[in-house]
Structure 1
Amino acid sequence: MRIYGVTGWKNAGKTGLMERLVTEITGRGITVSTVKHAHHTFDVDHPGKDSHRHRVAGATEVLLASRNRFALMHELRDEDEPTLAALLAKLMPVDLVLVEGYKRDQHPKVEAFRAETGNDLIAPGDPTIRAVASDTPLDLDRPVFDLNDTTEIADFILSEVGL
């Protein structure tokens, strides 16, 4: 599996870019999975549902399955947060895994940047950021793409990973 990241500070446009990239790349017949890092507690389950009751009762893993999809929930009761590598090992093989977040990991990335957020660029101090997708022109030592030019960004990523 080839791995490429989309990183940036909060409200930089990461999720929108990820969504557009998945649509663009899968539209070319390439299989894609995604990994999204959350910096906060999240839950895909709901109190009162059977699967939630199983988790609250103490199950380490609950696999919820239907005709359309399945979700495996693993409770990290006394465990450290899994590494990106450990999570990637759980995915079925696809052509490309797009990773949102995990800015400190060593996989290649595109940084999403919006000037209005007032945040500094990450790219100048991080060689894993291979390009920047920005809403404003930038003078950098690596490619800068228009944040909304999904086709060009997808072409760059696919070229980088050899697809």
Structure 2
Amino acid sequence: MKVFGFAGWSGSGKTTLIEGVLPLLLRRGLRVSLIKHTHHGFDIDRPGKDSFRFREAGAGEVMLAGAQRWALMRELRDEAQPSLADLLARMSPCDLVLVEGFKSAELPKIEVHRPALGKPFLHGEFPNVVAVASDASLDVDLPLLDLNHHDDVAAFVLNETGLA
């Protein structure tokens, strides 16, 4: 599997960019999966539901399965957060895994940067950034992609991963 990432500050537009690029990759016949990292606590379950109650009762893993999808929830409890490599090992085979977040992971990634947020660039600190996507003209030493031109971003990802 090829792996390519998108990193940036919260509110920079990573999710929106991936949402625009993903259908373009799929139209090329690629099987694409996604891993999203979050620093915030999250729960895909709802209090009161059976699966929530099972986890609350101490189950280490709970799988929900239906005709349209299945989901496996694993409680880490006192375990360390899994690495990106650990998570990738759990993914089903596909052509490309897009990764949102994991900015320090050693994989090529596009930095999504909006000057209006007033945040510093990431690429000076994280050497695996191979391009910057922005909604403004920037003076950077990396390829600069227009955040709103999803075709160009998709083409860049395909070229970088060798899937073009």
Which residue of the partner structure matches residue 120 of structure 1? 120
Give 1:123 shift: 1.6
Amino acid at match of 2:68: N
What are the Cα deviations for residues 4-53 of structure 1, in whole angstroms up to 9, with x where unaligned? 00001111111101111112111221110000001011000011111111
Give 1:131 shift: 0.4
CA contact (8 A) 2:4 2:98 kept: yes
**Root-mean-square deviation (Å):** 0.8
Give 1:112 shift: 0.5
Which residue of the partner structure matches residue 44 of structure 1? 44
Moved over 6 A (4+): none
- SS class of match (2:124): helix
What are the Cα deviations for residues 72-105 of structure 1, in whole angstroms up to 9, with x where unaligned? 0000011010001000100001100000000011
Which residue of the partner structure matches residue 102 of structure 1? 102
Amino acid at match of 1:3: V
Query: Percent of aligned pairs with the same residue?
Result: 50
Tell me the distance in 1 between the aligned counterparts of 2:160 and 2:31.
16
* TM-score, scaled relative to structure 1: 0.97
Amino acid at match of 1:138: L
Amino acid at match of 1:82: P
Which residue of the partner structure matches residue 130 of structure 1? 130
Which residue of the partner structure matches residue 158 of structure 1? 158
2:89 counterpart of 1:83: no
- SS class of match (2:47): coil
Give 1:3 shift: 0.4
- SS class of match (2:35): strand
Aligned residue-pair number: 163
Tell me the distance in 2 between the aligned counterparts of 1:124 and 1:152.
23
Which residue of the partner structure matches residue 32 of structure 2? 32
- Greater CA deviation, 5-14 or 123-132? 123-132
CA contact (8 A) 2:103 2:126 kept: no
Amino acid at match of 2:143: P
Amino acid at match of 2:144: V
